[in-house]
Amino acid sequence: MSTRPNVSCEPEALALDAADPGHRDLFHLPPADGGRYQEAAYFAGNSLGLQPKATRAELLEDLDDWQRLGVEGHLEAGRPWLPYHELLTEPAARLVGARPAETVAMNSLTVNLHLLMVSFYRPHGERVRLVIEDSAFPSDSYAVRSQVRLHGLDPDTDVVRLRPRAGEATLRTEDILDHLAREGQRVALVLLAGVNYLTGELLDIPAITAAGHAAGALVGWDLAHAVGNIPLQLHDWGVDFAAWCSYKYLNAGPGAVAGAFVHERHLADRELPRLEGWWSTEPGTRFRMEPVCRPPATADAWQVSNPPILAMGPVRTSLELFDKVGMAELRARSLRLTGYLETLLDDVCAARPLTVITPREPERRGCQLSVRLTGASAAELARRLRHGYGVIADAREPDVIRLAPVPLYSTFHDCWRAADALADAVAVTA
C-alpha cells in the first residue's frame, strides 16, 4: 500500500474538478502561506466559512442607506430595517426544513439556546435530567450546567453526558435510544448536536427525537455543524426546538447572527415561560409603547432585542446563495468530495500514527473528517500544514485535526493537496 498520495494522482484530482467544479468562483480564497500554490486549500469552513464575493457590495448598500437616510432608514432604506429580519425567515426555514412561522434569525447560538431552554427545560418531580453528549462543544456544556443550576439542581448529577463505548470515538444511535428507553422517565430535556464538532458524526436526528418523545422528554438540537452541511427536516421530524450559528457552513462572517426553530405545536402555548423584550411583541403594536408584551404565535416571540442590521446583511446574502444552489446538490457533492478525501487519507494513515475517527458510513457524517494523532500536537501539525504547504486545517487540542471539504468552495485538488501535505508532514512509522 502507498504511504503518500502518488504525484500522478494530482492530474486525476484536477480532472475531477473539471467535471465537478462546484461554486468556488463565488468566494474569496485566502492566499497560500507556503507551498507551490497561490490559493490556500481551505478546510476550516467548519470553524469559519469563507466570504462570498457578493457580501461586500450588499453590505455596503446597507451602509449607504444609513449614511443617506439616518433614522429614516427604518422605513425608507432599500431593505427597510424595521422588518429586515423577515427577509431571512423564509430562506432560513427552507434551509432547515421548517415553516416560516417556526423560524427566526436572532442573537448568537448560545444566547438562543439559553432563551429556548428557559421555555423547554422545565424539570419537575423525578424528571429533572438534561442529556447531552460527553464531547459536546464546551459552550453547550457551560450553558446546560448553568440552566440546571438556575433550577436549584446539581449539574454534576442532573446533566447526563452520553459517552461512546470503550475504545470507540463516536456514539452509537442504539446506545442513545437504549438510554432513553431505560432512563427516560428521569429525563426532562435531550439536547444534542446534530453533527458533533469534534468527530464530525451525524446523529440520527429523527430517530433520537422520536425516542425522546416516547420517553416523555422534550428534544432540542444544536445544529451549529449541521446547518448548511446536511439536509434537515425539522418540522417533519417533530423536533421541539433547535438553534444554529451562521458563520460556519453558512459563510455569513465571524460572529454572524444565528437562527432558531420552535415547532408550531408550541407556538400558541401561552403557558410556556419565555423571556421577553421589545422585539417579542406583535409588530403591529410595538410602537404603542405598551407595558405588556403581546407575543405573536410565531418563533418571533423568542426575540428580545431589535436585530443588528449590519450583521444580518451577510446572513441574507448567504441564504440567497443556498437557495440558488440547493441543499440536495450540495449534499451530493459533499458525499463525493468527502469520499474522495477518505480514500486518500486511508493510504496516508496506513503508515503513520494517524486515525480517522469520523464514521466511515456516509450517512453518519457531514463533510468533516477528523484525524487523531498519536504522540504529537494537533496545533503544531496545523501550523506546519498552513505555513509549509498552504493547507488551512482546524486543530482541536490535544490530538485532533479536522478537515472539512465544504462542497460550495472546496475542490478535489484541495483534497489531494491536504492528503499530500499530511503525508509529508507526519513521519512514517516503522
Determine, yes or no, domain membership for 50.
no
Q: What is the pLDDT of residue 5?
A: 56
Q: What is the pLDDT of residue 429?
A: 72
Residues 317 and 333 in one domain: no
Q: Model confidence over 135-184: pLDDT tens digits?
A: 999 999 999 999 999 999 999 999 999 999 999 999 999 999 999 999 99
Give the residue carrying C-alpha cell 440547493: 326
Residues 156 and 293 in one domain: yes
Q: What is the pLDDT of residue 46?
A: 98
- The CATH number given to whatever domain includes residue 259 is 3.40.640.10
The domain boundary, picked from 295, 324, 353, lies at: 324
Q: E-assigned strands of 236-285? A: 241-244, 259-262
Determine, yes or no, domain membership for 312.
yes
CA distances from 54 to 27, 270, 370 (A): 8, 41, 31
Residues 127 and 221 in one domain: yes
Determine, yes or no, domain membership for 70.
yes
Strand-pairing partners, residue 373, are 354
What b-and-e string marks burial along 198-218, b requiring 16 or more CB atoms within 10 Å of the CB? bbbbbbbbeebbbbbbebebb
Q: What is the pLDDT of residue 93?
A: 98
Residues 222 and 357 in one domain: no
Residues 302 and 418 in one domain: no
Determine, yes or no, domain membership for 215.
yes
- The CATH number given to whatever domain includes residue 382 is 3.90.1150.10
Asked whether 394 and 406 are in contact (CB, 8 A), the reply is no
Determine, yes or no, domain membership for 177.
yes
Residues 279 and 338 in one domain: no
Determine, yes or no, domain membership for 195.
yes
Helix, strand, coil: what percent of the chain each, to 5?
45, 15, 40
Determine, yes or no, domain membership for 1.
no
Residues 236 and 359 in one domain: no
Q: Model confidence over 3-38: pLDDT tens digits?
A: 565 545 899 999 999 999 999 999 999 999 988 899
Residues 286 and 386 in one domain: no
Q: Which domain holds residue 111?
A: 59-324
The domain boundary, picked from 324, 351, 368, lies at: 324
Determine, yes or no, domain membership for 38.
no
Q: What is the pLDDT of residue 9?
A: 85
Residues 296 and 388 in one domain: no
Residues 390 and 263 in one domain: no
The domain boundary, picked from 293, 324, 355, lies at: 324
Residues 156 and 177 in one domain: yes
| Cis preceding-peptide flag for 11 (omega within 30 of 0) | no
Residues 315 and 417 in one domain: no
Domain count, the chain: 2
Q: What is the pLDDT of residue 3?
A: 57
Give the residue carrying C-alpha cell 443617506: 68
Low-confidence ranges of the chain (pLDDT < 70): 1-8, 430
Give the CA radius of gyration of the chain.
23
